[in-house]
Structure 1
Amino acid sequence: MGSYMQWIYHGEQSQMRYDNEVIYNEDENEEHDNDDEIQTMLEEVSGRSFANFSDETKTDNNMCGNMSEKEANFFDKLLEEAERELNPGCKKFSKLSFLVKLLHLKVYNQWSNKSFDMLLELLKDAFPIGETLPKSYYDAKNMLQGLGLGYISIHACKNDCMLYWAEHKDRQECPHCATSRWKIDNGKDKKIPHKVLRYFPLKPRLQRLFMSSKTSVDMRWHKEKHLDEANMLRHPADSEAWKEFDKNHQWFAQEPRNIRLGLATDGFNPFGNMSTSYSMWPVVLAPYNLPPWKCMKDPFMIMSLLIPGPQAPRKDIDVYLRPLIDELKELWNDGVETFDASTGKCFKMHVAILWTINDFPTYGNLSGWSTKGYMACPTCNKDASSQKVRSKICYMGHRRHLEPSHSWRRSKKFDGKKENRSKPKELSGDDVLHQLDLLSTYRVGKHSNNKKKKRRPEELNWVRRSILFELPYWKSLKLRHNLDVMHIEKNICESILGTLLNIDGKTKDTHKTRQDLKDMNIRKELWLQHDGSTYTMPAACYVMSKKEKTEFWKFLKSVKFPDGYASNISGCVSVDDGKITRLKSHDYHVLLQRVLPIALRGFLNKDVSLALIELGNFFQRLCCKTLRKDDLEQLERDIIIILCKLEMIFPPAFFDVMVHLAAHLPRKAMYGGPVQYRWMYKIERFLCKLKRYVRNKARPEGSIAEGYIIDECLTFCSMYLTDIETRFNREHRNDDGSSSKYEHVLDIFSKNSRPFRDGIYDVIPKKDFDMARWYVFTNCEEAEPFLQ
């Protein structure tokens, strides 16, 4: 039950007694909790909390408390502000706590900078506290800048050839393309670089997860509190990739506080105007040590890099990943001394990347394997089942995944041929490195002298050796790059809707596809028919008639979903025009899994509707929060059967690489665990938040970097704020608040509830009333003594 917060049936005190204790404690310490929490936060952030432990502990941890004199002076000043009253006689707020909460409201409610400045002016004129407050948002932010973790600006070549960093930091022009470092160079007074990479150092951000008492215990959840069951997958810690990593690197697994990360990246337009061509690429890291209710959540995601626009880095993304990879290698080999607030001791923290999370085009950018052409599938590699048809390259031949004795292997209904090939071999890390050894040198950059080289046959689809292979453990990982279920679902559903409804520009049933059927000598009833000077297309079983489409639109228009479950899909449907627009990726997710299996049964014949219903059921079972390994093995067999059924129904052009990738999703789930920890939904929401930081459209990267820093700082501070709404204690979207939470009522009636509506109710029948009375008597603690 969602309202079962105190485990009164598992040894804890009852809800009523527990609530009374909480009220008493809150009343007793009301005046002191706020300042104590702020001071606790400052001590933990500054690394001084270990000073409260014994002298022996401090001797063991003398490396953990080191900080520069400038930083020490800053925190001394903040501690003074935390002890200073906001105004004489004010016991509720100190100057620092009031300012932190004021800034928290600004960030939490997305106030503009100008509105915050106007509020400070009003407070200054209306109340005596105005003299103690900063004059503007800029001054307020500077007061807390030491609580933030900052970022480093690194200049980059205009053509993405190199970074002016490390040994190249003093160069004035690019050695690859001879382009000047500066866009404007007026001597020493004004020099503006072409591009600036914002790098957010990883070490202090990971250290803070352990230095804070609010998160230090959760960073060991995967080892100490996680329930490991042989056949169940609930968390990445249950996955084969995680367990094989522990087996290969036992020294890493022995310390549960060593951190495992997922690396994600994608591009977005910061202006919200699709007519403006601009693409910047944040690189986001997600710690997997955390429990499921915190893992992959916005407050715990870390932006490590902000790759500037206006052009996407594409294949040159390795140039921008260099600072992060160097730090990750250092964190793997040497580690970093970190203070653990939960134990009061220091330990050597090491870090590893488990896999990357990205859509399919970005998969090619990060892995170095081109996701275009005849070998676009990186899992099948050189054994991909692809062939050229009149309009495109299609990926059929899923019969090769069936058992050798299966009757469909001998059938010619699929592509006019028998299937004798075996299942593609799964490549190990050593196999991949052997292929990369045959790769010629890759020239970075987008300058005009960098001509496109012709790929040799032995290079397959490899473009370059990824910088991620510099990590010592990367080749041994079971799962290096994830296939994004979100975009695969979206593309498959879009192809299905476009074909069934015959939408111009989206349907896969065209004149060329009908000619493909004739070329393969299959399904003669669908071949183009010559009628004098024109060709006509016979009606296909997978295309709805005009009347069926009208009824289908009406059905979609009538569908309603619970609040928060999906967007207003009915608002995207126009029955008169026969169009559906403005659908998002999650809308396709809901349509494919929930709506289409119901909507199609009345409009298509049994074979077509059954195959699509099975496809929707496949994705529904794959996206469960808890997976069973034997279920995934069955899904791996089922998806091949489903794809083979679809090959007998839809034209060859329907089977692009995105449809083919569905065959590999169950195996990826066995390696990586539930898809909720490996898909792009959480990353896309994080990018949407970054997009809202843009205040100055002339400097979008700078706006995002500054907005992220202050948001990161105040999100951390909000973990220590209990008397104000934060993202950690706010009510749920559909919270059923109880009006009798602190009243003395029977325990059985103390649970949260919300009536449907006000009104007059009929008299309860005696049978139902007796059942309700029996339930109350048998489930009420207070009634137990009278029933014995």
Structure 2
Amino acid sequence: MVFPADTKITKFIQYTSHCKGHDVHDTERQKDGKMRHPADSITWKDVDQKWPDFASETRNLRLALSSDGFNPFHGNRTDYSRWPVLLSIYNLPPWLCMKRRYIMLCLLISGPTEPGNDIDVFLQPLIEDLQELWHGKQMYDTYKKESFMLRGILLWTISDYPALGNLSGNVIKGYNACTICIDETKATRLVNYRKMVIMRHRRWLPRNHPYRRQKSAFDNTVEKGVAPVPLTGEEKNICEALVGTLLNIPGKTKDREYVRLDMAEMGIRTELRPKTPGKKEKSELVETLCQLEKHFPPSFFDVMIHLSVHLVREVKLCGPIFLHWMYPFERYLKAFKGYVRNPAHPEGCIAEAYVAEEAVECLVNFEKSTVGVSQNAKYEQNARPLSGATLTKPSDEDLHLAHLCFLQNTTNIRPYFE
């Protein structure tokens, strides 16, 4: 079931109260080097550097895609899996990015089984919408009262680890279970436990760290390996490398931060050691994992424990953790589960409730500017009944319901509900 993404983005742009926040990441964000917003991340800056024409329009959308399966039936007595595909917008302030009203449902993949690696077939309509958005769409900014060409880009996906394998096509099990280390995962199979474990976290420690020489406390070996570095795909052309390094050309230079770290560990020109934000946190995290290796059995160290080594890297690439974790989307899945009233047609119930909720929200956003007369606070404060009756003021929710009921029973507006 497809909910066109371009239609939802158009409605989002047309909300007058929302348009002010389209470029808040550029106009109101504190640019002091601290990590507060995805705009402070490496990925965001790489996009700006690679496509400067895209970055020149600050209202262009930066999106994230999330998908996960859930059982729509209460009690989970039936083996049934439903996969919604959601989009979130990062142009907003950080306290609004993960709010439910700014998370858009674009696809609802039917069950009863999960799509697995065939999820790319279901994602094709959404991919076409995103490709169209990348090329640009003429929009009208109701806040600035001007037309502009809106474009959008998908920065990353947000999912749990099993869903990551389906969305990216990477191997998430076996000897290469880590999608970052890949061939350098160094997993070990426990014969009796019949599962793969990932240890050897001493590789991420400095080369002179005492843990590397402790044999009996770990796996009875001295750790001489080094931490794997994610592949960069740089060219090996000598002239290009020489010129790029001398002129410090971004993307061409070989004078990188991790190279200076290696030089410092080798005792070469230690004064060039970079002051890297997050290095202390990563070192402490690795030491904690090594201490766990000394006391916990090997079966404890599955791939999920190993992935914590890369948390600092993820923060650098994507920004604050709370803006790219699964909790907001999982809470939204619980809301979808509450939409199901007829177990025979769970998809229809979810779609009907979602569209109705979206329609009501649209009416509420435009209510003050389209319906009713202006209120006078002076007369409202002095208002009282003529007799001795008690004055009762309905709540905002009751007023909205009464307003919706009135619109649904108005002859001129009824065709829009149908």
TM-score higher than 0.5 here? yes
Quick check: 1:367 aligned with 2:168?
yes
**Alpha carbons 2:3, 2:107 under 8 Å: kept:** yes
Alpha carbons of structure 1 residues 414 and 653: separation in structure 2 relative to 1, 3 Å: same
Q: Report the residue type matching 1:345 in the other structure.
A: E
Q: Say which SS state the counterpart of residue 422 (structure 1) adopts.
A: coil
Q: Say which SS state the counterpart of residue 233 (structure 1) adopts.
A: coil
Quick check: 1:677 aligned with 2:323?
yes
1:745-764, aligned counterparts within 5 Å? none
**Alpha carbons 2:41, 2:318 under 8 Å: kept:** yes
Q: Report the residue type matching 2:330 in the other structure.
A: E
Alpha carbons of structure 1 residues 249 and 367: separation in structure 2 relative to 1, 3 Å: same
- The structure whose RCO (Cα within 8 Å, separation 6+) is larger is 2
Tell me the alpha carbon deviations over residues 510-561 of structure 1, each in whole angstroms, 9 at most, x when there is no partner: xxxxxxxxxxxxxxxxxxxxxxxxxxxxxxxxxxxxxxxxxxxxxxxxxxxx
Q: Which of 240, 245, 248 matches 2:47?
A: 245
Quick check: 1:342 aligned with 2:143?
yes
Quick check: 1:328 aligned with 2:93?
no
1:201 maps to 4
Alpha carbons of structure 1 residues 291 and 410: separation in structure 2 relative to 1, 3 Å: same
Tell me the alpha carbon deviations over residues 229-287 of structure 1, each in whole angstroms, 9 at most, x when there is no partner: 11x11111111111111111111110011100010000000112322000010000000
Q: Which of 200, 217, 220 matches 1:416?
A: 220
C-alpha distance in 1 between matches for 2:332 and 2:169: 25
1:495 maps to none
Q: Report the residue type matching 2:287 in the other structure.
A: I
Alpha carbons of structure 1 residues 630 and 421: separation in structure 2 relative to 1, 3 Å: closer
C-alpha distance in 2 between matches for 1:208 and 1:257: 15
Alpha carbons of structure 1 residues 360 and 429: separation in structure 2 relative to 1, 3 Å: farther
Q: Say which SS state the counterpart of residue 220 (structure 2) adopts.
A: coil
1:138-537, aligned counterparts within 5 Å? 198-230=1-33, 232-332=34-134, 334-389=135-190, 390-391=192-193, 392-412=195-215, 413-428=217-232
Q: Report the residue type matching 2:17 in the other structure.
A: K
Deviation beyond 2 Å, 4+ runs, structure 1: 427-431, 629-633, 716-726
C-alpha distance in 2 between matches for 1:272 and 1:225: 44
1:641 maps to 287
**Structure 2: unaligned runs, 5 residues or longer:** 236-250, 252-274, 369-393, 401-418
TM-score, length of structure 1 as denominator length = 0.41
1:702 maps to 348
C-alpha distance in 2 between matches for 1:696 and 1:336: 39
Tell me the alpha carbon deviations over residues 308-334 of structure 1, each in whole angstroms, 9 at most, x when there is no partner: 0000001110010000111111211x2
- Shift in Å, 1:716: 2.5
C-alpha distance in 1 between matches for 2:158 and 2:198: 24
Alpha carbons of structure 1 residues 407 and 374: separation in structure 2 relative to 1, 3 Å: same
Q: Say which SS state the counterpart of residue 74 (structure 2) adopts.
A: coil
TM-score, length of structure 2 as denominator length = 0.76
Q: Which of 630, 633, 652 matches 2:298?
A: 652
Alpha carbons of structure 1 residues 313 and 360: separation in structure 2 relative to 1, 3 Å: same
2:261 maps to none
2:360 maps to 714
**Alpha carbons 1:632, 1:669 under 8 Å: kept:** no
C-alpha distance in 2 between matches for 1:398 and 1:652: 12
C-alpha distance in 2 between matches for 1:429 and 1:725: 57
C-alpha distance in 1 between matches for 2:95 and 2:360: 20
C-alpha distance in 2 between matches for 1:721 and 1:429: 54
1:554-569, aligned counterparts within 5 Å? none
**Alpha carbons 2:84, 2:105 under 8 Å: kept:** yes
Q: Say which SS state the counterpart of residue 374 (structure 1) adopts.
A: helix
Q: Which of 725, 733, 744 matches 2:396?
A: 725
Q: Report the residue type matching 1:725 in the other structure.
A: D
Q: Say which SS state the counterpart of residue 174 (structure 2) adopts.
A: coil
- Shift in Å, 1:725: 3.3
**Alpha carbons 1:297, 1:682 under 8 Å: kept:** yes
**Alpha carbons 1:207, 1:339 under 8 Å: kept:** no
Tell me the alpha carbon deviations over residues 94-133 of structure 1, each in whole angstroms, 9 at most, x when there is no partner: xxxxxxxxxxxxxxxxxxxxxxxxxxxxxxxxxxxxxxxx
2:241 maps to none
Number of aligned residue pairs: give it.
Answer: 332
- Shift in Å, 1:411: 1.9
**Alpha carbons 2:15, 2:365 under 8 Å: kept:** no
C-alpha distance in 2 between matches for 1:718 and 1:318: 36
- Shift in Å, 1:430: 8.0
Give the number of the structure whose alpha-carbon radius of gyration is greater: 1
C-alpha distance in 2 between matches for 1:277 and 1:233: 42
**Alpha carbons 1:209, 1:219 under 8 Å: kept:** no
2:254 maps to none
**Alpha carbons 2:68, 2:85 under 8 Å: kept:** yes
Q: Say which SS state the counterpart of residue 387 (structure 1) adopts.
A: strand
Tell me the alpha carbon deviations over residues 551-580 of structure 1, each in whole angstroms, 9 at most, x when there is no partner: xxxxxxxxxxxxxxxxxxxxxxxxxxxxxx
**Alpha carbons 1:260, 1:287 under 8 Å: kept:** yes
- Shift in Å, 1:429: 6.9
Q: Say which SS state the counterpart of residue 203 (structure 1) adopts.
A: helix
C-alpha distance in 1 between matches for 2:61 and 2:356: 25
Q: Report the residue type matching 2:72 in the other structure.
A: P
C-alpha distance in 2 between matches for 1:639 and 1:349: 42
Q: Report the residue type matching 1:414 in the other structure.
A: F
- Shift in Å, 1:631: 5.5
C-alpha distance in 2 between matches for 1:709 and 1:393: 45
- Shift in Å, 1:410: 2.0
C-alpha distance in 1 between matches for 2:6 and 2:72: 28
Alpha carbons of structure 1 residues 672 and 656: separation in structure 2 relative to 1, 3 Å: same
- Shift in Å, 1:345: 1.4
C-alpha distance in 1 between matches for 2:224 and 2:348: 58
C-alpha distance in 2 between matches for 1:286 and 1:725: 28
**Structure 1: unaligned runs, 5 residues or longer:** 1-197, 432-475, 477-628, 730-788
1:26 maps to none
**Alpha carbons 1:270, 1:694 under 8 Å: kept:** yes
1:776 maps to none
- Shift in Å, 1:719: 2.7
**Alpha carbons 1:268, 1:279 under 8 Å: kept:** yes
Q: Report the residue type matching 2:231 in the other structure.
A: L
- Identical positions, percent: 41
Alpha carbons of structure 1 residues 678 and 690: separation in structure 2 relative to 1, 3 Å: same
C-alpha distance in 2 between matches for 1:234 and 1:690: 30
Q: Say which SS state the counterpart of residue 252 (structure 1) adopts.
A: helix
Tell me the alpha carbon deviations over residues 383-405 of structure 1, each in whole angstroms, 9 at most, x when there is no partner: 00211123121111001111122
